[in-house]
């Protein structure tokens, strides 16, 4: 199955679609939300748990030989998962706070991790029935509703114009040192807030240039997005401008990172005042 990536994508799309349907069933009935708090104070809803169950069962049927690490079942001992060379990494509902805010900006994320690298990823937005997926061999793709898939790629930077994306809750205030460093390079900045992994999808399809993130994220938050962004020609890097890796330490928390649409630009120079 892993050798036939197109067949694998077909199976993943079916799993994501079923998980998305379960999410929407809860989304349309707020009385079913049953919001709880995790140990890190982040919310979890009935939709998160339902999507996790569908993804877990679907991946077990699709690739029974591979383990799964999910945000909703992340308490796997390091002594066990450090032995994994290939596994699935999923965020069943990326953007739970966006779900609770009812702004439609939430996704289902599944990534294949091989030797610490995000090699394949798929992202599905249930409210629009839109898929994004990417793989090193297949490239990056987008498919809206019942339309045919279309190849996507990042865009080159247009002169000194830099369109950056931010989180709704981790906005421009925390990023001021980064923005100051970029303005010192005479770059003209505009910004837009967007929820969940949709920010990476915008970069991958050539609609934005830069997404800096200061603050904790889980490895499940970025893995599928990194595979798609890299397949589209972009990069996801820590602030030493090295690619993010997965399952390389006991903790599952990412370092601060920056997602780039056009790696050919002199980012080391532009960000040196910050980094």
Render pLDDT for 195-208 as a digit per residue (tens, 0 to 9): 999 999 999 999 99
Q: Are residues 144 and 34 in the same domain?
A: yes
Average pLDDT for 120-149: 96
For 41-56, letters b (16+ CB in 10 Å) and e give: eeebbbbbbbbbbbbb
Average pLDDT for 155-165: 93
The two three-digit tokens of residue 49, written as one number: 């748990």
Q: Are residues 119 and 22 in the same domain?
A: yes
Binding-site annotation: residue ranges: 71, 91, 93-96, 221
Query: Which three-class secondary structure string do you get for the chain?
Result: CCCCHHHHHHHHHHHHHHHHHHHHHHHCCHHHCCCEECCCCCEECHHHHHHHHHHHHHHHHHCCCCCEEECCECCCCHHHHCCCCEEEEEEEEECHHHHHHCCCCCEEEEEEEECCEEEEEEEEECCCCEEEEEECCCEEEEEECCCCCEEECCCCCECCEEEEEECCCCCCCCCHHHHHHHHCCCCEEEEEECCCCHHHHHHHCCCCCEEEECCCCEHHHHHHHHHHHHHCCCEEEECCCCECCCCCCCCCECCCEEEECCCCCCHHHHHCCCC
Quick one: which of 115, 121, 38 has its CA closest to 74?
38
Question: For residue 171, what is the domain's CATH number?
Answer: 3.40.190.80
Instruction: Please answer whether residues 274 and 241 qualify as being in contact, where contact means their C-beta atoms are separated by less than 8 angstroms.
Output: no
pLDDT band at 145 (very low <50, low <70, confident <90, very high): confident
The confidence score (pLDDT) of residue 119 equals 97
The confidence score (pLDDT) of residue 41 equals 46
- Structural domain boundaries, residue 256: 161-271
Q: Are residues 29 and 104 in the same domain?
A: yes
Q: CA 102 to CA 68: how far, in whole Å?
A: 29
Pick the last residue of a domain from 152, 169, 184: 152
Q: Are residues 145 and 167 in the same domain?
A: no
Question: For residue 27, what is the domain's CATH number?
Answer: 3.30.540.10
- Positive or negative: CA dihedral 179, 183, 185, 190: positive
Q: Are residues 14 and 92 in the same domain?
A: yes
Q: Are residues 140 and 167 in the same domain?
A: no
CA 110 to chain centre: 9
Summarize pLDDT for 198-240 with one digit per residue, the tens.
999 999 999 999 999 998 999 999 999 999 999 999 999 999 8
Q: Are residues 131 and 213 in the same domain?
A: no
Average pLDDT for 83-101: 95
φ/ψ (deg, to 5) at 246:
-130, 145
Quick one: which of 169, 254, 241, 245 has its CA closest to 210?
241
pLDDT band at 265 (very low <50, low <70, confident <90, very high): very high
Summarize pLDDT for 20-51 with one digit per residue, the tens.
999 999 999 876 666 555 555 466 788 999 99
Binding-site annotation: residue ranges for Mg(2+): 71, 91, 93-94, 221
Q: How many domains does the chain have?
A: 2
Beta-sheet pairing, 210-213 with 36-37 = unpaired
Pick the last residue of a domain from 152, 184, 215: 152
Share of the chain above pLDDT 70, in %: 93
Q: Are residues 199 and 107 in the same domain?
A: no
Binding-site annotation: residue ranges for substrate: 71, 93-96, 221
Share of the chain above pLDDT 90, in %: 76
- Listed in sequence order, the residues at least 6 apart from 39 whose beta carbon sits closer than 8 Å to its beta carbon are none
Quick one: which of 93, 81, 24 has its CA closest to 52?
93
Q: Are residues 119 and 96 in the same domain?
A: yes
Q: From residue 247, give the alpha-carbon distance in Å to each of 23, 134, 152.
A: 27, 20, 28
Q: Are residues 34 and 140 in the same domain?
A: yes
Instruction: Please answer whether residues 228 and 204 qualify as being in contact, where contact means their C-beta atoms are separated by less than 8 angstroms.
Output: yes
Average pLDDT of the chain is: 92
The confidence score (pLDDT) of residue 3 equals 73
Q: Are residues 139 and 32 in the same domain?
A: yes
Q: Are residues 32 and 123 in the same domain?
A: yes
Average pLDDT for 151-175: 88
């Amino acid at each position: 199955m892993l050798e036939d990536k197109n067949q694998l994508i077909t199976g993943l799309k079916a799993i994501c679609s079923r998980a998305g349907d379960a999410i929407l069933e809860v989304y349309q009935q707020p009385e079913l939300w049953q919001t709880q708090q995790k140990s890190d104070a982040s919310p979890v809803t009935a939709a998160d748990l339902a999507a996790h169950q569908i993804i877990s069962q679907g991946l077990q049927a699709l690739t029974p030989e591979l383990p799964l690490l999910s945000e909703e079942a992340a308490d796997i001992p390091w002594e066990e998962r450090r032995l994994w060379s290939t596994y699935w990494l999923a965020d069943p509902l990326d953007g739970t706070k966006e779900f609770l805010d009812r702004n439609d900006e939430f996704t289902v994320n599944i990534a294949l991790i091989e030797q610490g690298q995000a090699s394949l990823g798929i992202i599905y937005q249930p409210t629009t029935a839109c898929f994004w997926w990417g793989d090193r061999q297949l490239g990056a793709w987008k498919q809206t509703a019942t339309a045919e898939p279309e190849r996507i790629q990042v865009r080159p930077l247009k002169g000194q114009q830099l369109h950056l994306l931010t989180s709704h809750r981790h906005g421009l205030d925390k990023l001021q040192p980064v923005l100051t460093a970029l303005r010192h390079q005479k770059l003209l900045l505009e910004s837009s807030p967007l929820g969940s992994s949709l920010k990476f999808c915008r970069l991958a399809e050539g609609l934005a240039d830069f997404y800096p993130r200061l603050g904790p994220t889980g490895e499940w938050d970025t893995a599928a997005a990194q595979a798609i962004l890299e397949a589209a020609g972009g990069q996801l890097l820590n602030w030493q401008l090295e690619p993010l890796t997965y399952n390389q330490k006991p903790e599952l928390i990412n370092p601060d990172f920056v997602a780039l649409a056009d790696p050919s630009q002199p980012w080391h120079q532009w960000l040196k005042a910050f980094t």
